[in-house]
Amino acid sequence: MSALPFDAYGGLSDAECQERILRARARLGKEVVLLCHHYQRADVYQHADLTGDSLKLARLAAQTDAPHIVFCGVHFMAEVADILSRPQQTALLPDLAAGCSMADMANLAKVERCWRELGEIMDVENECTPITYINSAADLKAFCGQHGGSVCTSSNAGVIANWAFAQRPKILFFPDQHLGRWTGHQLGIPLEDMPVWDADLPLGGLTPQAIAQAKILLWKGHCAVHQMFQKKQIDAFRAQYPEALVIAHPECDFSVCSAADYVGSTEMIVKTIREAPAHTRWLVGTELNLVERLAKEVAPQGKTVRFMSDIICMCSTMQRIDPQHLAWTLENLVAGCVINPIVVPEREAALARSALERMLRVS
């Protein structure tokens, strides 16, 4: 059976796609489960069986029984689903171009070179634990598995960092400098003990003394969406609404996290605002789809939710998973064709699994 090509789907209207998605889902029944990240666009999110932040989705992927896991998120999330699911299950990503630009800011060649360079000035295997944010390619998770490290997400980074410090005195944290810095700050580490490692410079652009003093080496990576949020937006909001509350994702800059009342993962943001008293007012520093959905959901309780930036900033890669690609993926499954399976090679998957399982055990 040859796969149905995408060409026939690109021109379909959203309304027609919605109908076809529902029909295909009815035919597939328990054959398929749809996992959706909170940033997913509304016209796809409405079809989700399960939603969550990266940690919750990783746990759900490990628990589901469906033979096909259709991941409405980005590439690294589908890789995690493949690694943690059973061998007979497949993880599918409706559009392979749905990557994460932050994840792409670190790669294995650069991390291995960093590790080698650190090895020239310290006993790196005994003095430093590599921690990768889950927003990273599977081979970086495998690197952490191989070198006694772990994965973390935005909801467990503190717990994982504490675990790492119980093993060795330093952490190499990649690829998000902001999550690493905020996590270290929460643990009481001074900013000057968390220098940034620039992978394009020899020795990360640091002196051997700075590396010796460092507690956390922060990879020079960031999220293009979250870097749009600025402290001045919080200041202006507070000036207008002194009683209002501010909540931000830890991928935001340190100045934004420091000025917020709460900092946490997407799941934590959703839960905090859902459970807040009626008639509260919120400014939220995370992706627009989540914020708009939440604003609508809590409006009947008199809660006001405002997006932190004046300009639209969406996760444009996650946005690629649209109703056309979802209809295409599901109708191919109905026709017996698995398109866009995400398959991590077994050796790499085994090492990455050990780092992910360590994270799930510790947190």
Q: Which residues bind ligand SF4 (CB under 6 A)?
A: 74, 100-102, 135, 223, 225, 251, 287, 315, 317-318
Q: Which is nearer to ligand SF4, 252 or 327 (CB)?
A: 252
Using CB under 6 A as the binding rule, whether residue 223 contacts ligand 13P is answered as yes
289 makes contact, choosing from ligand 13P, ligand SF4, none, with CB < 5 to 8 Å by partner type, with none
**Cα distance between residue 175 and residue 103, in whole Å:** 7
Question: Could you tell me the smallest distance in angstroms from the CB atom of residue 360 to ligand 13P?
Answer: 14
The residue with tokens 């690493």 is 180
Q: Which is nearer to ligand SF4, 118 or 221 (CB)?
A: 221
Q: Which is nearer to ligand SF4, 82 or 287 (CB)?
A: 287
Q: Which of 154, 177, 324, 354 binds ligand 13P (CB under 6 A)?
A: 154
Using CB under 6 A as the binding rule, whether residue 135 contacts ligand 13P is answered as yes
Question: Could you tell me the smallest distance in angstroms from the CB atom of residue 234 to ligand 13P?
Answer: 19
Looking at residues 35 to 64 of the shown chain, list those that interact with ligand 13P (rule: CB under 6 A): 38, 53-54
321 makes contact, choosing from ligand 13P, ligand SF4, none, with CB < 5 to 8 Å by partner type, with none
Question: Could you tell me the smallest distance in angstroms from the CB atom of residue 102 to ligand SF4?
Answer: 4
Using CB under 6 A as the binding rule, whether residue 265 contacts ligand 13P is answered as yes
